[in-house]
């Protein structure tokens, strides 16, 4: 019988030994399940007493040849003899060790579990393995020779269970994989010597998780954070490459990824609105039974997160051999709301088949394609092709390894959606520290050039219209009736538990029903028989520029179908192509007419329109006027190009702070020169000013030479021509609150009040904000 050959896969052996649910058992050969159902309890009891449990794995080499030459009965006799020898010999060889189990796994594979006093050293384990190999070999040698005509060749591997007394079944499986690898030679002597250190690090979860930002190259906002693993400092296992390659070689990849996932979630801190956590997943571990059983779902629930906040990042450096099973598991997670990214595309390991099969939400371009892309035209064309390809299949590109401003500018100009790299932000721990370091560092990128990467992005959700939806079990006749009663309605969305699963456009329905026998064939069938199962679906925060590109690249037969807009994957509304194009045209006209040519922020015309709109709608608001102090002396000292960089930096800073701390409909305008305006709700005004002042004072120093930074300013000429000392640029802010439309209608009175407050703010040193004395105690001078 071929199954006695002993060629046993780790998963198959583990499923027979530990009875993991979800794995099929072979029945060609007799079943060898554990005779002692209380074994897991015994192991747990010893671990609780700090008694390590040693697992010895024995393999009779080339035993399949015995079966083929001597027959099944002889093979069975040898296996029975071998098991009996283990049961008798092991207690005699190691009299001070408690034997917990001696079991035949499958065919010629045997396992012995022993409890010890004190953690064994590497040399002691080696002695145990060698002694048992020699002792058992001598015990069966004569009978084995008599039956087969040759001496037995036994391979032995070992592993130690010294974790906490939790997940014992999982630890047993891990130990079996480790011992198997050692016995079969996949774990070298050098690896075996390091196993003790690695298992101790894994046992104590002594890994450091750092988080690197992934930034939108169209809005400047942060899409999310990639969790990256580091080992203990001064350890051989410091590097993530060494950690994961060693774990894979030692058969410890599953427990390692579980520990890293848990640490990544526990140390994360608060994610920003709609931000995501990227978790690296090896293709083979995604089918880990503990992973499937919802461990990640439980952890994210404890952290107050949703599945839609998690992106599984699957590396393309490892081949996916079984796409059907892999996709089945992947769809399980997608159905729960998780997202998927494919990593390392372009590294030489990727395949278009992987992308086609996985259908990712994000494609991460390897740094090898990003490096020096500003100097390499072939790389630029290749990445442009990837971007077009991604948009046509409805996903987004993330460019990894950005290290220079030139690379960033090039990527933004060719339309890359997101970026990641040391230039944008180095990995930092813990994530809670990022609010005032890496995230602020990202803001200064606007000073590196006048590219479109940091222009305001208009979200498609703002033009979404209410949608008419029906359930999956709705009949075709009912949908037809809905459309007949609403002449202006072009289609309906089919939903399941609030999630869009299909789209029925009027023209498509009429085409089917207009066919010969169309009415009797379809009229009383569910609408799922006619709906488009792959409509264009976008989240509400997707910029309309991206939506427009994807929509116009659809199949020409679907070119004018509704675009379905979702909020957290639930139906929010629909957008017609006509509405989309009209909005794009209007935005471009408004920008051309009123945008500031340097920063791209709305100019004076747009500012006046926004104030008038709020007056018409009787909104209470707060208007913040912002002005840079000592900016002229900086221009005189460093030149106008450097001055432009400061203006761009200020615009980016205001945009980021308002996006993170402001209200949904806040407005930012550029009056001209170094004058800006923010219109917000009254309760947000002081919060915004305090943050702006803090970040501005911290970051403006980077625009000065080291000697000027050390001096705290520069020497220059004042208006009368005399030499004087000018402090570093600071920002003065004046808050004017408006109730309803009172002050907005009296523009002259409003401007005078603002001018008075600005003069007072500029008379104070440093970055400050002042507020109308009728509603506040006056100025608040911020110090850091």
Counting residues of the chain whose pLDDT is more than 90, the rounded percentage is: 19
pLDDT for residue 177: 80
Task: Specify which residues 723 forms β-bridges with.
Answer: 717
**pLDDT averaged over the chain?**
78
Q: What gap in Å lies between CA 444 and CA 86, rounded to an integer?
A: 69
Buried b (16+ CB within 10 A) or exposed e, 487-520: eeebbbbbbeeeebbbbbbbebbeeebeeeebee
Task: Specify which residues 470 forms β-bridges with.
Answer: 494
Reduced DSSP (H G I as helix, E B as strand, rest coil) percent helix, strand, coil of the chain, to 5: 50, 20, 30
Q: What gap in Å lies between CA 148 and CA 71, rounded to an integer?
A: 10
Q: What gap in Å lies between CA 765 and CA 694, rounded to an integer?
A: 14
**Which residues have a Cβ under 8 Å from the Cβ of 697 and sit 6 or more positions away?**
730, 766, 767, 782, 784
pLDDT for residue 45: 87
pLDDT per residue over 225-245, tens digit each?
999 998 888 777 888 877 887
Q: Is 228 helix (H, G, I), strand (E, B) or coil?
A: strand
pLDDT for residue 182: 79
Counting residues of the chain whose pLDDT is more than 70, the rounded percentage is: 79
Residue 624: pLDDT over 90: yes
Residue 44: pLDDT over 80: yes
19-28, 451-460, 560-569, 578-587, range with greatest mean pLDDT: 560-569
pLDDT for residue 594: 66
pLDDT for residue 591: 61
Q: pLDDT tier at 24 (50, 70, 90 boundaries)?
A: very low
Q: In this predicted structure, which of 246-250, 381-385, 779-783 has the lowest mean pLDDT?
A: 779-783
Q: In this predicted structure, which of 93-97, 392-396, 634-638 has the lowest mean pLDDT?
A: 93-97
Q: Is 320 helix (H, G, I), strand (E, B) or coil?
A: coil
pLDDT for residue 316: 53
pLDDT for residue 768: 92
pLDDT for residue 1: 32
Residue 745: pLDDT over 60: no
Residues 66, 74 contacting (CB under 8 angstroms): yes
Q: What gap in Å lies between CA 564 and CA 468, rounded to an integer?
A: 11
Measure the CA angle with vertex 369, ends 264 and 354; round to 5°: 65
Q: pLDDT tier at 141 (50, 70, 90 boundaries)?
A: confident
Residue 293: pLDDT over 60: no
pLDDT per residue over 747-761, tens digit each?
566 777 778 888 888
Residues 779, 761 contacting (CB under 8 angstroms): yes
Q: pLDDT tier at 679 (50, 70, 90 boundaries)?
A: very high
In the block, residue with structure tokens 């001209």: 672
| Average pLDDT rounded to a whole number, residues 420-433 | 73
DSSP H/E element including 725: strand 723-727
pLDDT for residue 784: 36
Residue 30: pLDDT over 50: no
pLDDT for residue 4: 27
pLDDT for residue 142: 83
- Which residue in 324, 443, 336, 357 sits closest to 695, CA to CA? 443
Please give the structure tokens belonging to residue 237.
């296992």
Q: At what angle do helices 377-392 and 544-552 cross, to 10 degrees?
A: 80
CA distances from 719 to 631, 672, 722, 723 (A): 13, 21, 8, 10
Residue 727: pLDDT over 70: yes
Residue 562: pLDDT over 90: yes
In the block, residue with structure tokens 């016995």: 183
Residue 285: pLDDT over 80: no
| Average pLDDT rounded to a whole number, residues 496-515 | 91
| Average pLDDT rounded to a whole number, residues 709-720 | 82
Please give the structure tokens belonging to residue 91.
């207690």
DSSP state at residue 65: H
pLDDT for residue 445: 42
Q: What gap in Å lies between CA 482 and CA 476, rounded to an integer?
A: 10
Q: At what angle do helices 72-93 and 122-148 cross, to 10 degrees?
A: 150
**CB hemisphere CA count around 779 (13 angstroms):** 20
| Average pLDDT rounded to a whole number, residues 660-685 | 91
Residues 394, 367 contacting (CB under 8 angstroms): no
pLDDT for residue 729: 94
pLDDT per residue over 603-622, tens digit each?
887 888 788 878 877 888 89
| Average pLDDT rounded to a whole number, residues 314-330 | 62
pLDDT per residue over 349-376, tens digit each?
445 667 777 788 899 998 888 988 988 8
pLDDT for residue 191: 60
CB atoms within 10 A of CB 187: 23
| Average pLDDT rounded to a whole number, residues 211-225 | 81
pLDDT for residue 730: 94
Q: pLDDT tier at 105 (50, 70, 90 boundaries)?
A: confident
| Average pLDDT rounded to a whole number, residues 193-202 | 76
Residue 146: pLDDT over 50: yes
Residue 648: pLDDT over 70: yes
Q: pLDDT tier at 337 (50, 70, 90 boundaries)?
A: confident
Greater confidence, 615 or 292?
615
In the block, residue with structure tokens 């030139």: 406
Pairing of strands 418-419, 396-399: parallel
Q: pLDDT tier at 740 (50, 70, 90 boundaries)?
A: low
Please give the structure tokens belonging to residue 598.
């340097």
- Which residue in 397, 404, 396 sits closest to 445, CA to CA? 404
Q: In this predicted structure, which of 112-116, 540-544, 697-701 has the lowest mean pLDDT?
A: 540-544
pTM for the model = 0.47
Residue 160: pLDDT over 80: yes
Taken in order 93, 97, 103, 107, is the CA torsion positive or negative?
negative
| Average pLDDT rounded to a whole number, residues 381-407 | 86
CA distances from 339 to 179, 322, 362, 547 (A): 35, 20, 8, 19
Q: Is 388 helix (H, G, I), strand (E, B) or coil?
A: helix
| Average pLDDT rounded to a whole number, residues 136-165 | 81
């Amino acid at each position: 019988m071929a199954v006695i050959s002993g060629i046993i896969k780790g998963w198959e052996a583990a499923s027979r030994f530990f009875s993991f649910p979800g794995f099929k058992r072979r029945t060609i050969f007799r079943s060898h399940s554990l005779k002692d159902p209380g074994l897991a309890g015994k192991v747990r009891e010893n671990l609780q007493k700090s008694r390590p449990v040693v697992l010895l794995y024995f393999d009779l080499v080339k035993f399949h040849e015995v079966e083929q030459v001597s027959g099944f009965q002889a093979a069975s006799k040898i296996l029975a003899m071998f098991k009996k020898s283990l049961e008798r010999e092991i207690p005699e060889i190691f009299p001070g060790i408690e034997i917990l189990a001696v079991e035949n796994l499958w065919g010629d594979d045997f396992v012995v579990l022993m409890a010890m006093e004190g953690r064994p050293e590497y040399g002691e384990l080696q002695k145990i393995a060698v002694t048992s190999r020699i002792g058992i070999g001598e015990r069966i040698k004569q009978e084995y020779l008599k039956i087969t005509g040759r001496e037995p060749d036994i391979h032995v591997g070992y592993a130690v269970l010294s974790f906490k007394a939790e997940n014992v079944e999982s630890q047993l499986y891990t130990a079996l994989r480790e011992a198997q690898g050692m016995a079969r030679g996949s774990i070298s002597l050098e690896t075996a010597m390091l196993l003790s250190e690695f298992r101790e690090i894994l046992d104590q979860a002594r890994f450091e998780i750092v988080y690197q930002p992934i930034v939108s190259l169209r809005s400047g906002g942060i899409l999310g954070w990639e969790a990256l693993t580091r080992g203990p400092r001064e350890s051989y296992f410091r590097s993530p490459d060494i950690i994961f390659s060693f774990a894979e070689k030692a058969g410890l990849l599953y427990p390692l990824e579980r520990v890293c996932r848990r640490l990544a979630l526990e140390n994360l801190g608060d994610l920003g609105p709609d931000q995501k956590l990227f978790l690296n997943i090896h293709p083979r571990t995604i089918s880990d039974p503990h992973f499937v059983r919802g461990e990640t779902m439980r952890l994210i629930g404890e952290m107050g997160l949703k599945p839609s906040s998690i992106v599984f990042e699957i590396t393309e450096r490892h081949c996916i051999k079984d796409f059907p099973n892999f996709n089945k598991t992947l769809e399980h997670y997608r159905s729960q709301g998780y997202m998927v990214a494919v990593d390392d595309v372009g590294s030489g390991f990727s395949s278009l088949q992987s992308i086609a099969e996985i259908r990712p939400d994000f494609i991460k371009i390897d740094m090898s394609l990003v490096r020096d892309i500003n100097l390499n035209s072939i790389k630029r064309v290749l990445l442009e092709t990837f971007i077009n390809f991604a948009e046509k299949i409805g996903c987004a590109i993330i460019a990894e390894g950005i290290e220079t401003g030139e690379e960033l500018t090039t990527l933004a100009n060719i339309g890359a959606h997101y970026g990641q790299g040391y230039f944008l932000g180095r990995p930092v721990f813990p994530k809670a520290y990022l609010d005032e370091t890496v995230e602020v560092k990202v803001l200064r990128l606007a000073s590196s050039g006048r590219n479109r990467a940091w222009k305001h992005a208009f979200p498609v959700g703002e033009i979404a219209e209410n949608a008419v939806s029906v359930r999956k079990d709705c009949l075709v006749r009912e949908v037809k009736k809905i459309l007949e009663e609403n002449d202006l309605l072009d289609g309906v969305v089919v939903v399941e538990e609030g999630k869009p699963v299909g789209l029925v456009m009027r023209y498509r329905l009429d085409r089917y029903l207009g066919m010969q026998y169309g009415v009797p064939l379809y009229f009383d069938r569910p609408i799922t028989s006619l709906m488009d199962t792959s409509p264009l679906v976008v989240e509400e925060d997707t910029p309309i520029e991206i939506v427009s590109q994807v929509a116009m690249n659809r199949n020409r037969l679907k070119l004018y179908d509704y675009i379905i807009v979702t909020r957290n994957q639930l139906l929010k509304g629909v957008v017609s192509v006509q509405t989309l194009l009209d909005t794009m045209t209007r935005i471009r006209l408004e920008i051309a007419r009123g945008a500031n040519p340097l920063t791209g922020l709305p100019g004076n015309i747009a500012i006046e329109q926004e104030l008038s709109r709020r007056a018409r709608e009787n909104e209470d608001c707060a208007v913040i006027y912002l002005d840079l102090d000592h900016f002229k002396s900086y221009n005189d000292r460093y030149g106008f190009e450097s001055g432009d960089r400061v203006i761009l930096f200020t615009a980016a800073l205001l945009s980021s702070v308002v996006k993170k701390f402001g209200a949904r409909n806040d407005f930012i305008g550029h009056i001209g020169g170094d004058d800006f305006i923010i219109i917000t709700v009254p309760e947000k005004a002081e919060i915004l000013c305090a943050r702006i002042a803090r970040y501005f004072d911290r970051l403006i120093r980077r625009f000065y030479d080291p000697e000027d930074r050390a001096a705290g300013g520069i020497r220059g000429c004042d208006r009368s021509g005399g030499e004087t000392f000018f402090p570093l640029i600071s920002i003065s802010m004046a808050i004017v609150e408006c109730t309803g439309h009172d002050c907005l209608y009296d523009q002259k009175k409003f401007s005078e009040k603002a001018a008075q407050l600005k003069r007072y703010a500029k008379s104070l040193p440093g970055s400050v904000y002042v507020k109308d004395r009728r509603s506040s105690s006056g100025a608040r001078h911020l110090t850091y």
